[in-house]
Amino acid sequence: MNIRINPEVKEALAAGNAVVALESTIISHGMPYPQNVETALSVEKIIREHGAVPATIGIIDGTGVIGMNPGEIEEFGKKGTEILKVSRRDLPVVMAEGLWGATTVATTMIFAAEAGIEFFATGGVGGVHRGAELTFDVSADLEELGRTNVTVICAGAKAILDLPKTLEVLETKGVPVLGYGTNELPAFYTRSSGLKVDYAIKDAQDAAKIVKAKRDFRLDGGILICNPIPEEYSYDAGEINAVIDEAVKEAESKGIKGKEITPFLLARIAEITGGRSLEANIRLVFNNAAAGAEIAKEYCALNK
């Protein structure tokens, strides 16, 4: 695979120190410029403050970059949606044609695994879309979680999804769904969905032990650690679900589907809420970055 690993990331991995991967779709498709760049750099700063090395992943001129520098992150932010959103199926074309690509959860996991990075912090993972029994619209993120050896720290699956079906698919694929200080699945904008996770874990050390046990037993596949949005930024479930329903209906009426639907829904929800949902999104990513760094540190300590 054609990849370039940032020297700082390479040195940290060689020394057995904590590294946390980050995706680039959140930069190019997640929010407007310059807020996207400011957020990405702030996430990296938080990971450093918690004692780990950040590795923002993207594709530049057909090369997978593991640990983009500030200048590259700035370019991603400026180009925005001009950059292709790349999932597993798109990788061969984007790399062969020497294109720029923004990595989704699935492709970030692929590159992280290739580089030897165990932990990846993001906002929310993709899953089974509403109405999937008719459209068969299921995110490739779930397939990747079932096959790729990376632990993903998130605020649950995105609230725009069918959460019960998403949990069923994760169970089928053998992916442990762990609640970070909770026994309920967080629903991205809200701390609770009313659905139970597989196991509640106490802290970073507890999480690291479970990850190590899975790797020691050579059980391939990812682990999903669900970290609830901080309480002060959490939405009332009824309020945000009404907004999501409105955005979903609008997407259906416009015929928006496939990989375009998630960016459309998140942007429309931000518009309807007057930007409050975007602020919540940013805060939950910050929260996950901090948790990811702490878990990565504990995991490295167990392996030294």
Given 158, 259, 294, 298, which residue is catalytic? 158
Q: What value, to the nearest 5°, has the Cα angle with vertex 225 and ends 217 and 28?
A: 120
Integer CA distances (angstroms), 41 to 51, 128, 135, 164, in order: 16, 30, 37, 34
158 included as an active-site residue? yes
**Beta-carbon neighbour count of residue 35 at 10 Å?**
15
d(CA 122, CA 153): 6
d(CA 247, CA 303): 46
Amino acid at 139: S
**Beta-carbon neighbour count of residue 220 at 10 Å?**
11
> Which of 87, 84, 298 shows the shortest CA–CA distance to 206?
298
Q: What value, to the nearest 5°, has the Cα angle with vertex 108 and ends 103 and 110?
A: 120
**Beta-carbon neighbour count of residue 236 at 10 Å?**
10
- Kindly compute the dihedral angle of the four CA atoms of residues 202, 160, 34, 232, in this order, to the nearest 10 degrees: -40
d(CA 228, CA 180): 7
Tokens 């200080």 locate to 181
Active centre residues (catalytic): 23, 158
